[in-house]
Amino acid sequence: MSNRSRPSVHPFDIQVPQLREGDAADNGAPPDATVRLKDVQGMPGTPAGLALRLFQFGFAAVSVAVMAATSDFPSVTAFRYLVGALSLQCLWSMSLAIVDLYALLVKRCLRNSRILGFFTIGDAITSTLTFAAACASAGITVLISSDFDNCAQNHCARFETSTAMAFVSWFLVSPSFFLSFWSLASR
């Protein structure tokens, strides 16, 4: 029991009992090696998970910046909803990127069921809001550009760019949600 960490000191460390000498000789590992489950890249606390969070933040921030740069976006409710939902997505993705970076720097595992539940629920909420906002904005953009043929007075290219960036941000949130959910469900 001396090799195991105490939950009150290291809540994220999970160590598996050591291999027996005969087992270690079979696979070439030293006799004192510990066995750890391999993290799937893209899960919280992995380098790919950090990259996903940074890209989510980047595309959401570009979408908000492009939409906010237009002077007439507040006149359409769907565009205001897009800015609000993607601002929340920016905050969520950046804060989880900081958590992932911390976990990578101190070599902590983020497979705690409470943490995974929090990540899963947060990703589900922000993913749903982002997708709904992107769909609503896409509908209004098509209405303005194709049905009303009114792009001369509006910023159709900016609306389309912002909506496309919102869809890319949603597309990048989906793997984070599914990997967190899968990890939580497989516990």
> Does the global pTM surpass 0.95?
no
Residue 153 pLDDT grade (very low, low, confident, very high; cuts 50, 70, 90): confident
| Residue pLDDT, tens place only, 1-51 | 555 544 555 555 555 555 555 554 455 555 444 434 466 888 888 999 999
| Residue pLDDT, tens place only, 115-152 | 899 999 999 999 999 999 999 999 999 998 888 877 77
Shortest CA distance to 113 belongs to which of 183, 176, 38?
Answer: 183
Neighbours of 144 (CB within 10 A): 19
Intra-chain end-to-end CA distance of the chain, in Å: 23
Question: pLDDT value at position 33?
Answer: 46
User: What gap in Å lies between CA 168 and CA 156, rounded to an integer?
Assistant: 18
User: What gap in Å lies between CA 80 and CA 43, rounded to an integer?
Assistant: 31
| Contact predicate 42/36, CB 8 Å | no
Torsion angle, CA of 181/174/106/23, rounded to 10 degrees? 50
Q: Is the pLDDT of residue 187 over 80?
A: no
Total count of residues recorded for the chain: 187
Mean pLDDT of the chain: 83
Question: pLDDT value at position 147?
Answer: 80
Q: For 105-169, give the DSSP string.
A: HTT-----HHHHHHHHHHHHHHHHHHHHHHHHHHHHHHIIIIIS--TTTS-HHHHHHHHHHHHHH
